[in-house]
Each structure stands twice: as C-alpha cells, then as structure tokens.
Amino acid sequence: MLRNFLDGLTKSAPFVVMDNQAGMEHLSRLTTNDVDLLLEVAAPTVVNVAAARRIDELVEKLPVKVARKGLVINREVGHTSGTVSKLIAEGKFELLGRIPLSEAVAALSADGKPVTELSLDDPAARAVADIVDRYVL
C-alpha cells in the first residue's frame, strides 16, 4: 500500500522526501522503486559509517533504481578519525557534507521544539543550507 501511495505521490509532487528510521528494513521491503538521491546520514563513528556502507551494499542487490547516493556526516565534533575517514572513502557514496554538533539543536530537541526554530546563524543550520544549495536544489 505504501509503495502504491508513493508511486502516485511522485507523479504529482516535484519532491518527495522519505525519512526512514535507521536501518535497512524500508529498503528491503521495496517501499519505493526509483530514488533520485539516497541520502544517508551517519554520526562520525565506525559503527554508523559501516551501517551506511551495508545499506549501499543492500541497495545494489535490490531491484531499486538509485540515481545517486550521498552521505552526510552529522553531529561531528572536531575532525573525523582516520578509520572513519577511510570507511567513507572506500564507500560507494559521495560525501555531501558534514554537519557539526550543535548545542542549540540539542536544546531545541530537549524542549520538544522543531529544528525550524534554529537560528540560521547556527553552524549546523549553515552546513545543512550549504548541502541543500549544492546538491538538492
């Protein structure tokens, strides 16, 4: 049912953004057929980047057409370790950007407020805007 709904929606909307929970279940259930950009968001840890790579491996085995795969590193503090950087470089996705850890985002989340209330001057907001400007629009 979800696949049929999404197929109809993609015919009438210029963009459809599907935010899946972490993991591969939604892809393996083939909830969509054609993807312009598979955007994977991962924390800068070996476990998270390895999971993103496993998703890429799964996508290659499924009958889902993915035009482009991109990785965004989220909640980055300082620099990413050499091991994580190596995993990213060996992956089959394009590194689209890095979003720094933001205390303001954490405070909004703790108060149950949406990130749309985040100041556009916040480094995380600027990083997201830059990624969208360069790769999405």
- The pLDDT tens digits for 101-137 are 999 999 999 999 999 999 999 999 999 999 999 987 6
Is the same domain home to 20 and 51?
yes
Q: Is the pLDDT of residue 99 over 80?
A: yes
Position with higher pLDDT, 112 vs 58? 112
Give 130's contacts (C-beta < 8 A, 6+ positions apart).
Answer: 97
61 lies in the same domain as 127: no
Q: 15-54 pLDDT, tens per residue?
A: 777 776 666 666 666 666 677 888 889 999 999 999 888 8
Same domain, yes or no, for 115 and 74? no
55 band by pLDDT with thresholds 50, 70 and 90: confident
Residue 113: other Cβ atoms inside 10 A: 11
DSSP 76-96: E-S---HHHHHHHHHSSSEEE
* Co-location of 69 and 111 in the same domain: no
Contacts of 112 (CB under 8 A, 6+ apart): none
Domain match, 61 and 30 both = yes
Domain co-membership, 19 together with 72: yes
Question: Closest Cα to residue 47, out of 84, 97, 91, 98?
Answer: 84
Same domain (yes/no): 39, 96: yes
Is the model's pTM score more than 0.85? Answer: no
Instruction: Supply the pLDDT for residue 57.
Output: 84
Residue 20: give the domain boundaries. 2-100
One domain, residues 27 and 37: yes
Torsion angle of C-alpha atoms 3, 69, 76, 25, degrees rounded to 10: 30
Question: Do residues 87 and 21 both lie within one domain?
Answer: yes
Tell me: do 106 and 91 sit in the same domain: no
Number of domains in the chain: 2
65 touches 23 (CB < 8 A): no
**Residue 88 shares a structural domain with residue 40:** yes
Q: How far apart are CA 62 and CA 28, in angstroms?
A: 7
Distance CA 97, CA 9 (A): 28
| 37 and 69 share one domain | yes
Do 58 and 28 touch, CB atoms closer than 8 A? yes
